Amino acid sequence: MPDVQALVNDFVNLLKKRRIEGSQATAKQTAVLLRSVISQQRVPHTNQATVLINAVRAVGEQIIDVNPIELAVGNIVRRVLHIIREEDLSLVTDAVAGLGMFAGSDDEDDVERDDYPALSAASVAAAARSTSRPPSLQTLLEDVTDSAVVPPTPSSGGDSEGISRTLEKGSSGRKFKHDVIEAVNELIQDITSCHEQIAEQAVEHIHQNEVILTLGSSKTVLEFLCAAKEKKRSFKVVVAEGAPRYQGQVLAKELAARGIQTTVIADSATFAMISQVNMVIVGAHAVMANGGVIAPIGLHMVALAAQRHAVPFVVLAGSHKLCPLYPHNPQVLLTELRSPSELLDFGEFSDLMDSATGSGSLHVVNPAFDYVPPNLVSLFITDTGGHNPSYMYRLIADYYSADDLVVKQRPTTGS
């Protein structure tokens, strides 16, 4: 089995060289890497969650800083940390319930307490808060139910009893790690199937003879529109070309190949065409905790045009793109600058540009992303359904723990 650090180094190199295209692929590979980290981490009988959290945090620090604009990496690191905390809380809750069953028996207390990991006051308090906190709407929609764990029954033999408890202590760590890995596998499956989950909702939002506008190229948008076409919806799509990379032309070609009537326009023609449009449907690079969207360059202009003409502005985003941070957070990089060669030919303008000294009279700025504030968004469609921008903070709270917003480990002081 490859060494963990070797796997981390390989992943870091891929991020540095931008060899991983798209947030979905980045999120999936991040989750696979963290699954390997958890799988190879030795877990003691006590403080199991702490050991796994520290291991994931250590790797998270290395991979998040490599490409700060790719927020999906940090999202998945925080999701996995949340999974560990949830599994630990479930274990503690079951242990507290099991110990409560034997609270009235003095002679069995010592025996039964040995069969459970050491419980900290913080864990017990968290378990108490968990049982008293009402379930969120997201939890109710997903109909998640925790399975009850039956506490082990003490054996009657003297030597066999001690051996049995030792074996149970060893299996306790393995079971906890197994449960965490299974939860991470479910996360990977959710990331893989997010396009299909979002596309299934297309027929609920796209109606007959509508005109839909989009900008640039997005696999999520492509699958969403094609799913509506397969449901016998007849509609037209207007695609803004998405300069300077012109990814909209790629999307237009794919839509036309699947039999969807498609019109390509220049980005600057958006305001001229928006009055003929029934809905704007776009993808996103990331969705922030306040409902704001980091999106491909040019979408802020499209959102303003949609608001001006009262056209719904709909954003499609998988749950791996939901970020628990706010736009003003120092960890958030709202955009990055791409190569000037996408805009101008160096050979033709080289005499006006001096890249070495920066003293040339011509400068080129090529930002990659826009920030769209939440007041310009009408609806988010994720793999869990449609949500208003004002609800996004609550949806995000179901996926992340407040303790994990800052992944960097705090220095510990000896007591």
pLDDT of 77 > 90? The answer is yes
- Residue 211 falls inside a structural domain: yes
- Tell me: do 225 and 256 sit in the same domain: yes
- Tell me: do 151 and 23 sit in the same domain: yes
Q: Say how many CA atoms lie within 13 Å of 37 toward its Cβ.
A: 28
* pLDDT interval class at 282 (50, 70, 90): very high
* pLDDT interval class at 382 (50, 70, 90): very high
- Tell me: do 279 and 393 sit in the same domain: yes
* Per-residue model confidence (pLDDT) at position 335: 84
- Tell me: do 180 and 212 sit in the same domain: no
* Per-residue model confidence (pLDDT) at position 156: 46
Contact 366, 343 (CB under 8 A): yes
- Residue 365 falls inside a structural domain: yes
- Tell me: do 175 and 210 sit in the same domain: no
pLDDT digits (tens, 9 = 90+) for 304-315: 999 999 999 999
- Could you check whether the bond before residue 152 is cis, i.e. omega within 30 degrees of 0? no
* Per-residue model confidence (pLDDT) at position 11: 95
Residue 228 sits in a domain whose CATH number is 3.40.50.10470
- Tell me: do 124 and 213 sit in the same domain: no
For residues 393-409, b (16+ Cβ closer than 10 Å) or e, as one string? Answer: bebbebbbbeebeebee
- Residue 289 falls inside a structural domain: yes
Domain boundary among 150, 177, 193: 193
* pLDDT interval class at 414 (50, 70, 90): very low
- Name the helix (H) or strand (E) containing 12: helix 4-16
- Tell me: do 71 and 177 sit in the same domain: yes
pLDDT of 189 > 60? The answer is yes
- Residue 409 falls inside a structural domain: no
**Average pLDDT in the chain:** 84
- Residue 271 falls inside a structural domain: yes
Q: Name the least confident of 66-70, 74-78, 113-117, 179-183.
A: 113-117
pLDDT digits (tens, 9 = 90+) for 103-158: 555 554 554 444 555 555 555 555 555 545 555 555 555 554 444 444 444 444 55
* Per-residue model confidence (pLDDT) at position 33: 97
- Residue 406 falls inside a structural domain: no
- Tell me: do 284 and 169 sit in the same domain: no
Domain boundary among 137, 161, 193: 193
Query: Which strand ranges, in their side-by-side order, compose the sheet holding 369-372?
Result: 286-287, 293-296, 369-372
- Tell me: do 156 and 223 sit in the same domain: no
Domain boundary among 193, 226, 246: 193
- Tell me: do 144 and 253 sit in the same domain: no
- Residue 246 falls inside a structural domain: yes
Q: Encoding tokens for residue 194?
A: 């997010």
- Tell me: do 261 and 172 sit in the same domain: no
pLDDT of 237 > 80? The answer is yes
pTM: 0.81
pLDDT digits (tens, 9 = 90+) for 244-258: 999 999 999 999 999
Q: Print the domain residue range for 338.
A: 201-399
pLDDT of 338 > 60? The answer is yes
Q: Name the least confident of 119-123, 315-319, 322-326, 379-383.
A: 119-123
* Per-residue model confidence (pLDDT) at position 166: 47
* Per-residue model confidence (pLDDT) at position 321: 96
Number of domains in the chain: 2
- Tell me: do 125 and 229 sit in the same domain: no
Q: Which residue has the higher pLDDT, 10 or 115?
A: 10
Instruction: Provide the sign of the torsion angle of the four alpha carbons 358, 361, 362, 365, taken in this order.
Output: positive
- Name the helix (H) or strand (E) containing 59: helix 48-64
* Per-residue model confidence (pLDDT) at position 96: 77
- Residue 217 falls inside a structural domain: yes
pLDDT of 44 > 80? The answer is yes
